[in-house]
Chain A
Amino acid sequence: MTQTRTLRRPTGGAVADTLPAIELVGLTKSFGAVRAVRGIDLTIAPGEVVAFLGPNGAGKTTTVDMLLGLSRPDEGSVRVHGLEPGHAVRRGLVAAVMQTGGLLKDLTVEETLRLTASLFADTRPVGEVLERAGIADIADRRVGKCSGGQQQRLRFAMALLPDPELLVLDEPTTGMDVGGRREFWAAIREDASRGRTVVFATHYLEEADAYADRVVLVSHGRVVADGTAAQVKSLVSGRTVRATLPNADQAVLQAIPGVETVEVRGDSVIVSSTDSDAVLRHLLTRTAARDLEVTARGLEDAFISLTSEGAQS
């Protein structure tokens, strides 16, 4: 796949000389025998909105932790706007919205923001971030009494305080209902449109598709694909047709437009294709196939096929 970069920041030609917002080189990290990250190289330019997409356990959170300086890589380097993550954090260049925790239940929403603001050299006004995160109406509520979605928007407001160049979101909508999820993303999108670099880890393809310019697929601690949302979507948009067909002619099936792989297992044949209708039409009109079954190919299948391809090459 080709790597594509959609730059939203309206700085035009100057972008070429810019330091990358994120530069990960040869990153690895193991926890005992578990190799969580097995060599990730990734460069993200300022202004990009990038989804870090992968199934649970792919190494997304481990990578995010290293990006934020919360853990140190075994090998490789991390640079955020040319700085070590810890330095970038202290300067308010990078801020993050973490998955869970990280809030004091006995403070109010506004107090949490005032406390956080007091820790940085320069911040946006508390009132402004309350508005932008859509929680101005619950400013006086105790954090412990806020819903999961409200707490997440508070984390977002906290992240906005230092006016970071880079915003990192780790599975930000886990545990939110559909409405909360939509509102949360509306706020993020609105913010990204101002030119901030946004990187979010997610295991929802729909989120990556709807909100990212660029999707980086991670599986088993490696980047397995990197491209536009449309490209990645096409990888996983196909369907699998399974049928009982003794003595199937593999070559003929392979020649049907849209067919990617044909697998024969005894009397069964499994065809994955981006145009399952054509496959079905062929099987029903030209062959004695029976017991036809069509299943949508999910993200997990795409990961499996991408990872096994990677292993073969």
Chain B
Amino acid sequence: MTTADLAANERSVPRFGSFNSTLVRLELRRMLRNRRTVIFSVVMPVLFFLLFGTGKSYSDESAGHGNVAAFIMVSMALYGAMLSTTGGGAMVAVERSQGWSRQLRLTPLSSTAYISVKVLVAMLLGALSVVVTYAAGALTGAHMDTSVWLVTGVAVWVGSLVFAAFGVFMGYLLPSENVMQILGPGLALFAFLGGLFLPLEEMSPTFRTIAHFTPMYGLNEVVHAPLTGDAPGWAAVVNVLVWLAVFVGGAVWRFGRDTARV
């Protein structure tokens, strides 16, 4: 045995497929360094809330366990979290197009650890969207029962996992560096049809019917339920579960194909 062979035996493989806190920290820093990401995740939801939710005649009307300003705040937090998590997941596309994914295959990082970091960072950014939008609401007249602040906030955040899966799915499907420019208009449409910007009652019956099948509709109903006090309809719950299954399934399928490609 020579030194080289000994070295081969002594060298170890990192634990957890190389998942580590330095990686998560640097990935998060990268995200926050991207001006466009910050604008979409933090600035836009707050701005939309201030525009549509505050200082209006309806702002302080009751919406159940809180006021209409709070209702709009929850919608905008969901919108921001959706943009954050989709964008975070879709980073996969950027990294594939820049050859970074290939570079990572020359390290011990496992594919599962890689995708876990992407989803975790996407969810952390989503949490930032929710916290900042809720802080803006608290400072400008949104009122809810204390427990409702917590429950809706957590619901929005956990629910945005659906869109982290959507982002990863699209990230593997679209081999483009400008993936969010493609997804942006689609997300705006989802938000509109989900009733985030405009109550569905104000849409034409045709639109309303279509809206019930789009991916934001169910989640929007569910996250507002603790505030309005109305239990979400079955259609909404089924909508969330079906889209979650579609996006997670799609992400797993594309991810599997990607790692098998040798």
Contact = CB atoms under 8 A, between A and B. Distances in A.
Same complex origin of A and B: yes
A121 B14 contact: yes
Contact of B103 (A21, A101, A114, A122): A101
A186 interface: no
Interface of A: 11, 14-15, 17-19, 21, 46, 68-72, 81-83, 88-93, 95-96, 98, 100-107, 111, 114-122, 158, 165
B14 A119 contact: yes
Contacts of B26: 107, 111, 114-115, 118
B23 interface: yes
Given A91-B11, A101-B98, A101-B100, 10 more contacts: A69-B105, A89-B105, A93-B7, A103-B98, A115-B26, A118-B23, A119-B104, A119-B109, A121-B12, A165-B4
Which of A46, A100, A104 lies at the interface centre, i.e. has the most chain B CB atoms within 10 A of its CB? Answer: A104
Nearest to B107: A119
14 contacts: A11-B3, A18-B2, A90-B13, A91-B13, A95-B106, A102-B102, A103-B98, A104-B100, A107-B26, A114-B22, A115-B23, A119-B107, A121-B108, A158-B103
Given A104-B98, A115-B23, A70 B105 contact: yes
B18 interface: yes
A96 B108 contact: no
Given A100-B99, A107-B30, A120-B107, A46 B4 contact: yes
A70 B104 CA distance: 10
Interface string B70-114: 000000000000000000000000010011101111111100000
Interface of B: 1-5, 7-8, 11-14, 18, 20, 22-23, 26, 29-30, 33-34, 95, 98-100, 102-109, 262
Contacts of A98: 99, 102-103, 106
B121 to A, nearest CB: 13
A120 B262 contact: no
- Secondary structure call for the A interface: loop
B20 A118 contact: yes
B11 A103 contact: no
B23 A165 contact: no
Nearest to A158: B103
A15 B2 contact: yes
A144 B125 CA distance: 23
Given A98-B102, A102-B102, A121 B107 contact: no
Nearest to A159: B106
Contacts of A111: 26, 29
Contacts of B20: 118-119
Nearest to A104: B100
B5 to A, nearest CB: 6
Closest 7 CB pairs of A and B: A101-B99, A102-B103, A118-B22, A91-B11, A90-B108, A119-B107, A119-B18
A207 B24 CA distance: 40
A61 to B, nearest CB: 12
A204 to B, nearest CB: 23
A106 B30 contact: yes
Contact of B262 (A71, A88, A89, A116): A71
Contacts of A107: 26, 30
A15 B99 CA distance: 37
A116 B99 CA distance: 15
Contact of A89 (B2, B3, B33, B108): B108
Given A70-B105, A96-B106, A104-B30, A19 B11 contact: no
Nearest to B262: A72
Contacts of A106: 30, 33-34
Contacts of A119: 14, 18, 20, 23, 104, 107-109
Nearest to B97: A101
Contacts of A118: 18, 20, 22-23, 26
A105 B98 contact: yes
